[in-house]
Amino acid sequence: MSNFDWSKLPFGYQKADYNVRCYFRDGNWGELEISSSEYINMHISATALHYGQQAFEGMKAYRGKDGKIRLFRWEENFKRMERSAHGIMMAPITKDIFKEAITKAVLMNERYVPPHGTGAALYIRPLLIGSGAEIGVKPAKEFLFMVFVTPVGPYFKEGFNPVKIAIVRDSDRAAPLGTGNIKVGGNYASSLTGIIKAQQAGYSSPMYLDSVHKKYIDEIGAANFFGIKNNTYVTPKSSSILSSITNMSIMQLAEDIGLTVERRQVEIDELDTFDEVGACGTAAIISPIGEVYDIDENKKYEFCKDGKVGPISTKIYNKLVDIQYGDEPDFHNWIEIIN
């Protein structure tokens, strides 16, 4: 792939060579099919199009110094996709099909796995949709599972540099007993007005508060929130946020370096007391936050005042990416080499 400037890749869609598909019909999953088309043929009354039966995952394949390709905690993505399928009444994919599909999708597009040291990775997007036709509001009887890949750089153009976040109160991404804790398209549709509002105000991403009290921090765009103070890593506990595999891993790494980990409600007013705050997720990795602006209260919370990322966020970021790219021993058995 000599025509790629890997180190300047944005987080965007880039065509690869192949994708993988599998259909659920008559109560069973069929054989994996390989396609070189970026399009699918769908019934106009498919439940995915009308009633939001759609769930997806986001994961990455990383190339090590040794040239080998690594997957990071793929079983956690499988488990989450299973929960998402149950949450909106879709047939869950089996673990074997999930593994075979992601592995095939990566290996068949191996030339798009960015070289080690460029900071880029191959983003893997498993997608499960209701493909069966219904017109009454009910679950489909047929489903389509697909996996496509695309090489990506950092989610935020800032990379591992402070980003600016805006608190948005006039739209909710999710409700406490809704679908915020699973990875379904509807959550992203309801996050769009907040994302655009934050961006139009000059901020990278919105911060969502709990939708009942508008008092506690939920999450940040497509990433979880964390704050660090008094040798403690604090991250919100809420029934409406997505359980981030990156955050789960960072909590472990924080403990490994001697921090106490607290998962609890975090009031917005507590923002003032943190030494470091950040957003984390597969796409965002760890994005340090330099400013949180409360649009309605016209109040600014500032961090990284000297322009530098905090020492603990830096240490945890380095540990995480070094494990993902195979530069540090994988003590927790998070990595699977697939070639």
Query: Near ligand PLP by CB under 6 A, which window of 16-24, 141-149, 244-252, 297-305?
Result: 244-252
Instruction: Give least dist CB 223 to ligand COI, A.
Output: 7
- Annotated catalytic residue, options 79, 183, 197, 299: 183
Does 222 interact with ligand PLP (rule: CB under 6 A)? yes
Token pair 């660090």: residue: 228
Does 242 interact with ligand PLP (rule: CB under 6 A)? yes
Residue 153 interacts with which of ligand COI, ligand PLP, none, CB < 5 to 8 Å by class: none
Nearest to 253 by CA among 309, 315, 311, 308: 315
Tokens of 319: 């540990």
Span 280-309, contacts to ligand COI by CB under 6 A: 281-283
Does 246 interact with ligand PLP (rule: CB under 6 A)? yes
Query: Near ligand PLP by CB under 6 A, which window of 9-17, 193-201, 217-225, 328-336?
Result: 217-225
Q: Give yes or no for a contact between 216 and 266, defined as CB atoms under 8 angstroms apart.
A: yes
Q: Give yes or no for a contact between 19 and 148, defined as CB atoms under 8 angstroms apart.
A: yes
Query: Near ligand PLP by CB under 6 A, which window of 42-50, 90-98, 118-126, 221-229?
Result: 221-229
Nearest to 241 by CA among 222, 228, 269: 222
Question: Catalytic residue at 229?
Answer: no
**Among 222, 251, 259, 286, interactor with ligand COI by CB under 6 A:** 222
The pairing of strands 276-281 and 28-29 is: unpaired
Cβ nearer to ligand COI, comparing 10 with 67: 10
Q: How far apart are CA 296 and CA 264, in angstroms?
A: 25
Span 266-285, contacts to ligand COI by CB under 6 A: 281-283
Instruction: Give least dist CB 336 to ligand COI, A.
Output: 18
Residue ranges binding ligand COI (CB under 6 A): 58, 222, 281-283
Binding site for ligand PLP (CB under 6 A): 58, 219, 222-224, 242, 244-247, 281-282
**Active site (catalytic) residues:** 183
